[in-house]
Amino acid sequence: MDWQTPEDAVPSTFVSEAVRRSLVGAPPASGAWREGDPVGDRRFAQLGPLELERGGSLPAVTLAYETWGELDPDGGNAVLVLHALTGDSHVVGVAGPGHPTGGWWGGVVGPGRAIDPGRWFVVAPNMLGGCQGSTGPASLAPDGREWGSRFPYLTIRDQVAAQAMLADRLGIRSWAAVVGGSMGGMQALEWAIEHPDRVARLAVLAAPPASGADQIALDSVQSEAIRMDPGFAGGDYYDAQDGHGPHRGLALARRMALLNYRSPTELDDRFERSWQSGISPLGGGGVFAVESYLGFHGNKFTRRFDANSYLVLVDAMNSHDIGRDRGGVRAALERVTARSLVVGVDSDRLYPVPGQRVIAAGLAHGLDGGEPVVISSPYGHDAFLIEDELVGAQVGRLLAP
């Protein structure tokens, strides 16, 4: 659900001093990209109005996106890469002006990688409701004020509808492949079910056929942590001075989420019962290294994300049910005509492997005879972002001629 950052790549409690200095001071009221900020590698598509599944509409939708490679004259080499909850369009590239973090999947997308821009035209949008250039709660509404608490409820299907509008704008009639993990995997599934004639290949990584009660419960406490922050101000906090937005609640939600993204054995092996400060636990006043790790990432997160977007996107994940109004999960999966790959992670406690087994069993054109590929990794749910060699090999198999 989260992308890998350099300090997450190895089991270490330490990060560079330069990174630490960048996190000093009060967080902003919102970490969203705003008009007037450096554009970086983003492009923007103005897509017009969008009617929403649960009623209501957005009068004007913008999707930020990035591309790599060149589109063939016949448009047959386009690959859609869909990010997870806290990701964005910056799949490949360094951190810098406009991009608070480096690319989140550079081990899978890039020259010589599984998704090679020398062969494929790769498109990665920031999803609708996000906060890195696409229309979301931090965007300006028609009255010139941020949407804030007025932003409408979105579903996964609404986000896919916006992506379909982007594909139309780019002149892409059919995707050679749609690839997504976690929340992006939910969207990839919806693409293949709702638009089977537009998806030739499908890769679903660490995603379920529907969000269950356990996942919804985990999401609900994260959302409540944000709403209980006095700085949340009912969702209308954008004019707050730095240090007075809902950063404490957002950081706490992030800390809760991280516990679901990693496996208990990985945290135990990395941190054991070590103390970050070196102070004896018997003397008091010390901080366990795992507490320091969570605190660091909570603080870092508030500087690149928006609390309202987090709530909107979590609600969209909770809406996920491919069988809704389609006669159930199996009937929905029968609509998929794409050559399909389903990947699960044996240590994933957020979206466990049984969910991927249900998906794989219902796909008529799976690569593996109705079974998912199960990756063995200590990294839990985040393995689909960290285990580049294992994941890349599977995605490459799907994209083989």
Question: Mind telling me the catalytic residues?
Answer: 182, 348, 381
Contacts of 371 (CB under 8 A, 6+ apart): 357, 360, 361
- In angstroms, the CA 159 to CA 180 distance is 13
Contacts of 143 (CB under 8 A, 6+ apart): none
- In angstroms, the CA 248 to CA 265 distance is 28
Contacts of 206 (CB under 8 A, 6+ apart): 181, 182, 185, 343, 344, 345, 348, 350, 351, 356, 381, 383, 384
Q: Across the beta sheet with 57-68, what order do the strands follow?
A: 43-51, 57-68, 121-125, 78-82, 177-181, 201-205, 339-345, 373-375
Query: H or E element: which one contains 78?
Result: strand 78-82
Q: Give φ, ψ of 345 to 5 degrees.
A: -125, 130
End-to-end Cα distance, the chain: 30
